[in-house]
Structure 1
């Protein structure tokens, strides 16, 4: 078993869970009418349909992170039994996705959003685990 990939995969799940929960609490809570799942209260310059797609995209990010996490956990568990070009491609893709995402969040938030650190750590685990 590849422990680095396993930890990276688990961190993807934790990051996605934290992302969705904190987003709901810190961003979308006040934008929702009582009893509704999808926020629809808009502010200046933001239409309801835009808010709704921002909400959906927010949670898609978590779902995509969980998908990458599931792939990494599966690869971590099966890694010693089967190394293929596809596995290497998946790991490389996940590595570059996490490292690039880390830079994007770092630059976009001027380092104030802690997600960039977790994304960087996942990317580094994928580099270390590859060797």
Structure 2
């Protein structure tokens, strides 16, 4: 088993869970009517349909992260069953995507949102796993 890939996959699950929970608590909590899952209370020029898609997109990020986490864990635990070229291609795509995501979050928040650090670790860890 490749522990680096397993760790990166596990970090994805944790990041997705924290992302969804904190988003609900810190961002969407005050924008919901009682007993509603999807926020519908709008402010300023934001329309309800825009708020709904922002909420959906917020949670899609977590779902996509979980999907990538599953891929990394599967590759990390079943390396001998996969073609080396395909495995390296998938890991490289994931690593580059996470490094770019880390950079994007860092630049857009001026480093104030700590998510960039977790994304950076998730981007570096699969690379270390390929070098192992």
Whether TM-score is above 0.5 comes out as: yes
In 2, Cα distance between equivalents of 1:33 and 1:60:
22
Confirm whether residue 74 of structure 1 aligns to residue 74 of structure 2.
Answer: yes
1:1-38 superposed Cα distances (whole Å, 9 cap, x missing partner): 10000000000000000000000000000000001110
Q: Which moved more, 1:74-83 or 1:40-49?
A: 74-83
Equivalences, count: 131
CA RMSD of aligned residues (A): 0.9
* Partner in structure 1 of residue 46 of structure 2: 46
In 1, Cα distance between equivalents of 2:81 and 2:68:
20
- For 1:115-130, what aligned pairs fall within 5 Å after superposition? 115-130=115-130
TM-score under structure 2 normalisation?
Answer: 0.96
Give ranges in structure 2 of 5+ residues lacking alignment: none
* Partner in structure 1 of residue 61 of structure 2: 61
In 1, Cα distance between equivalents of 2:45 and 2:38:
19
Confirm whether residue 5 of structure 1 aligns to residue 5 of structure 2.
Answer: yes
TM-score under structure 1 normalisation?
Answer: 0.97
Confirm whether residue 24 of structure 1 aligns to residue 24 of structure 2.
Answer: yes
